[in-house]
């Protein structure tokens, strides 16, 4: 069977995977426990590819290989920063490059994954936005970033990955066909709790409403970056399609379904979106939906001469929010020397800067 016709096991929903494997092993007169053996391996951290499954007879490994595809992306580069942050640049089968970032902190090991190769949203503060869109990732390509990193983290004594955030390259809610199954696979297949998975969006309203309809309690992060429509539209072109008031309505719906937590991400760019008055407007929005606010100093990108806000200005912003009763934190930049921000590793690699 050629590659296209082999079913990608990491793209299948856990129930579908079991059904397909049951059919496969039944046809081959194999005992039912072969399904559990294979599923256990796929949702584990062992090497990908059926050849590695030495608990199966050689003939069964070959038969699986002939009918199914079980593949992780090739590692193009791994960069590790002094603070332990590790950045992975993956080469997909078509040669496209995507990235994931593993961020250790005291109590968590968070993996940031990509959902698209490139991005069509064109946000002006983002390296990926400037580089344009290549293609959608499949559910398997999204999940495989997690699976491959799980093994790397275990080998490098980082321990288990505790949280996954869809905050790498791409707008996850512009690839809902793959992102929805990938959420189910991470949650039901790899048994990562829904509250440990965060979907980040620049504000795709229909996607937020679809997520709200799911029974799982996934967390949602909104890349807000400006609390006023005009300024926001300068940073995020999608604002013109889904203006802030409609976005706030969608967030209220999301929150109403089981009181799920919403975070506002606010990248602080000097003299662009860091005027103290904006902190007051931001506080009003955050209070409306009891959102938690992350203030993130802007990480300079190759295509813009913007700079991060001063520490003093960030602190002033934080204090205004806090005084208004909003839960807020300043997110310390991680892995700066490996450029562990959205799209930067790929942007550099493609520009031949390294
Ligand atoms: S911030 Fe996110 S949505 Fe905007 S261009 Fe970058 S990757 Fe795309």
Higher pLDDT, 272 or 350: 272
Region 330-352: mean pLDDT is 58
Sort residue 170 into left (φ over 0), alpha (ψ -120 to 50) or beta: left
Share of the chain above pLDDT 70, in %: 94
pLDDT for position 352: 37
Cβ–Cβ < 8 Å for 65, 114: no
**265 carries an active-site annotation:** no
The closest-lying atom of ligand 1 relative to the alpha carbon of residue 127 is 6
**pLDDT surpassing 80 at residue 48:** yes
> Is 121's C-beta closer than 6 angstroms to any atom of ligand 1?
yes
Residue of 60, 99, 239, 339 with catalytic role: 99
- How many angstroms is it from 266 CA to the middle of ligand 1? 13
Region 65-82: mean pLDDT is 95
> Is 169's C-beta closer than 6 angstroms to any atom of ligand 1?
yes
- How many angstroms is it from 170 CA to the middle of ligand 1? 6
What is the DSSP secondary-structure string of 50-115?
Answer: GGG-TTS-HHHHHHHHHHEE---PEEEEEEE-TTS-EEEEEE-TTS-EEEEEEEE-SS-EEEE--S
- How many angstroms is it from 340 CA to the middle of ligand 1? 14
- Pairing relationship of beta strands 197-201 and 86-91 according to DSSP bridges: unpaired
**pLDDT surpassing 70 at residue 337:** no
pLDDT band at 347 (very low <50, low <70, confident <90, very high): very low
Q: Where in the chain do CATH 3.20.20.70 domains reside?
A: 74-350
pLDDT for position 339: 63
Q: Where in the chain do CATH 1.10.150.530 domains reside?
A: 3-69
**pLDDT surpassing 80 at residue 191:** yes
**pLDDT surpassing 70 at residue 30:** yes
The CATH number for 74-350, chosen from 3.40.50.1700, 3.20.20.70, 1.10.357.10, 3.10.129.10, is 3.20.20.70
**216 carries an active-site annotation:** no
**What pLDDT digit, counting tens, does each position of 273-304 carry?**
999 999 999 999 999 999 999 999 998 888 78
What is the CATH topology of the domain spanning 3-69? DNA polymerase; domain 1 (1.10.150)
């Amino acid at each position: 069977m050629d590659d296209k016709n082999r079913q990608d096991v990491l793209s299948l929903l856990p129930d579908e995977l079991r059904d397909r494997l049951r059919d496969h092993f039944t046809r081959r007169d194999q005992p039912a426990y072969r399904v559990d053996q294979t599923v256990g391996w796929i949702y584990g951290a062992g090497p990908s590819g059926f050849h590695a499954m030495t608990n199966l007879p050689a003939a069964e490994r070959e038969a699986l290989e002939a009918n199914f595809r079980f593949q992780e992306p090739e590692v193009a580069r791994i960069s590790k920063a002094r603070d332990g942050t590790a950045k992975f640049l993956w080469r997909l089968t078509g040669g496209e490059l995507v990235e994931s970032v593993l961020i250790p902190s005291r109590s968590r090991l968070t993996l940031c994954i990509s959902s698209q190769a490139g991005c069509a949203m064109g946000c002006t503060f983002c390296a990926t936005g400037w580089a344009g869109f290549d293609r959608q990732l499949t559910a398997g390509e999204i999940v495989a970033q997690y699976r491959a990193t799980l093994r790397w983290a275990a080998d490098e004594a980082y321990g288990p990955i505790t949280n996954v955030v869809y905050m790498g390259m791409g707008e996850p809610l512009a690839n809902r066909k793959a992102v929805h199954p990938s959420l189910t696979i991470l949650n039901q297949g790899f048994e990562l709790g829904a509250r440990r998975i965060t979907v980040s969006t620049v504000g795709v309203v229909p996607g937020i409403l679809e997520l709200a309809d799911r029974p799982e309690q996934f967390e949602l992060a909104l890349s807000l970056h400006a609390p006023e429509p005009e300024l926001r539209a300068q940073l995020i072109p999608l604002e013109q399609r889904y203006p802030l008031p409609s976005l706030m309505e969608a967030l209220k719906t999301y929150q109403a379904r089981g009181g799920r937590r919403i975070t506002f991400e606010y990248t602080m760019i000097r003299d662009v979106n860091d005027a103290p008055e904006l902190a007051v407007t931001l506080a009003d929005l955050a209070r409306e939906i009891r959102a938690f606010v992350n203030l993130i100093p802007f990480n300079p990108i190759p295509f813009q001469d913007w700079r991060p806000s001063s520490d003093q200005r960030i602190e002033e912003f934080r204090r205004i929010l806090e005084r208004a009763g909003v839960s807020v934190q300043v997110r310390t930049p991680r892995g700066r020397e490996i450029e562990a921000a959205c799209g930067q590793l790929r942007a550099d690699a493609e520009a031949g800067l390294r």
